Structure 1
Amino acid sequence: MTDVHSPQQRHKNMAAVKNKDTKAELLVAAELQKLQIKFEKQLKISKAKVDFYLPEYNTAVLVHGCFWHGHDCHLFKVPATRTDFWLTKIKSNQARDQQHTNAMKQDKIRILIIWECAVRGRQKLAQDALCERIEEFLLSQQIAAQINSNGFDVHWNKQTKSTD
């Protein structure tokens, strides 16, 4: 299938896509403020730029767009045009994400990934439910977790902090 836009129009559309202060990030920031959690935005930690860093909890919060990071949910759809390009791009993003999370874990930084589908779209979590999941993670002994439209993704990471 051919693209319905000219290359110039497609370039203009893609250039308009934001990589910080997205709607999803602004919604997460509002929830963190409701919880009265102090955070820093767009901080570089362990060679990774994180959306939010919560110093009190030594936690990096990453808000992942479901398309750009290839999340298996209702918001992700493989493009019909330039499919190979997009699948390669998404796989590259996922590999980079893995490198960043590994580096942060090695540096003993906790990681909370909040997927776009948890905060927007027809299957999003209620605001109270999102706040509860964030708070639950921060008060837990987990090193890493993901929140999606179903709540926690329990299969992603079962590792917990050692109690020594």
Structure 2
Amino acid sequence: MADIVSPAVRSRMMSGIRGKDTKPEILLRKALHAEGFRYRLHDRKLPGRPDIVLPRWKAVILVHGCFWHGHHCHLFQLPGTRTEFWRAKISGNRDRDDRNRQALLAQRWRVLEVWECAMRGPGRLPWETLLAETVSWIRSDRKL
């Protein structure tokens, strides 16, 4: 299937997609702050520059977009155009995610991944449940 916009328009659209400070990330950060948690953002000293770093709890939270990280859910669908490019791009993102997660675990950080589909769409969790589970994980000593 051919793209419905020109390559220049598609390029401009794609360049406007944020890699950090996304809506799901900001929503979770504000809620955690309201719960009394203090954190750092995108710490350059840590592998992959995690979205939310909670040093007191030795925990990091990664907020993943389902499309960009190739999550197997209703929000991910491989594009019909340039499929080999997108397959390689998303596969590379997933490989990098795995390497960063392993490096964080090797440094004894606890890692929680929060997926976009948990926050939006028909399969989303109730917000109170998602927040309560995240807070519970932070305060626990659970690895995942």
Map 1:13-162 → 2, pairs under 5 A: 13-144=13-144
- Partner Cα distance (1:27, 1:38) in 2: 15
- Partner Cα distance (2:18, 2:51) in 1: 13
SS of alignment partner, residue 49 of structure 1 = coil
SS of alignment partner, residue 63 of structure 1 = strand
Cα pair 2:32 2:135 within 8 Å, conserved: no
Could you tell me which amino acid in structure 2 is paired with residue 126 of structure 1?
A: P
SS of alignment partner, residue 60 of structure 1 = strand
More strand by share: 1
Aligned residue pairs total 144
- Partner Cα distance (1:14, 1:117) in 2: 20
Q: Deviations over 1:109-156 (max 9, x none)?
A: 110110011112232222210111102212333223xxxxxxxxxxxx
Q: How far is the alpha carbon of 1:88 from its aligned partner? A: 0.8
- Partner Cα distance (2:95, 2:77) in 1: 19
Cα pair 2:52 2:60 within 8 Å, conserved: yes
Structure 1, unaligned runs of 5 or more? 145-164
Between the aligned residues of both structures, percent identity stands at 37
Structure 2, unaligned runs of 5 or more? none
More helix by share: 2
SS of alignment partner, residue 61 of structure 1 = strand
- Partner Cα distance (1:91, 1:50) in 2: 19
RMSD of aligned Cα (Å): 1.2
Of structures 1 and 2, the one with the larger relative CO (CA 8 A, separation 6+) is 2
Could you tell me which amino acid in structure 1 is paired with residue 89 of structure 2?
A: K
Taking structure 2 as the reference length, what is the TM-score of the superposition? 0.94
Cα pair 1:63 1:113 within 8 Å, conserved: yes
SS of alignment partner, residue 2 of structure 1 = coil
Cα pair 1:46 1:107 within 8 Å, conserved: no
Could you tell me which amino acid in structure 1 is paired with residue 58 of structure 2?
A: N
Q: How far is the alpha carbon of 1:9 from its aligned partner? A: 0.6
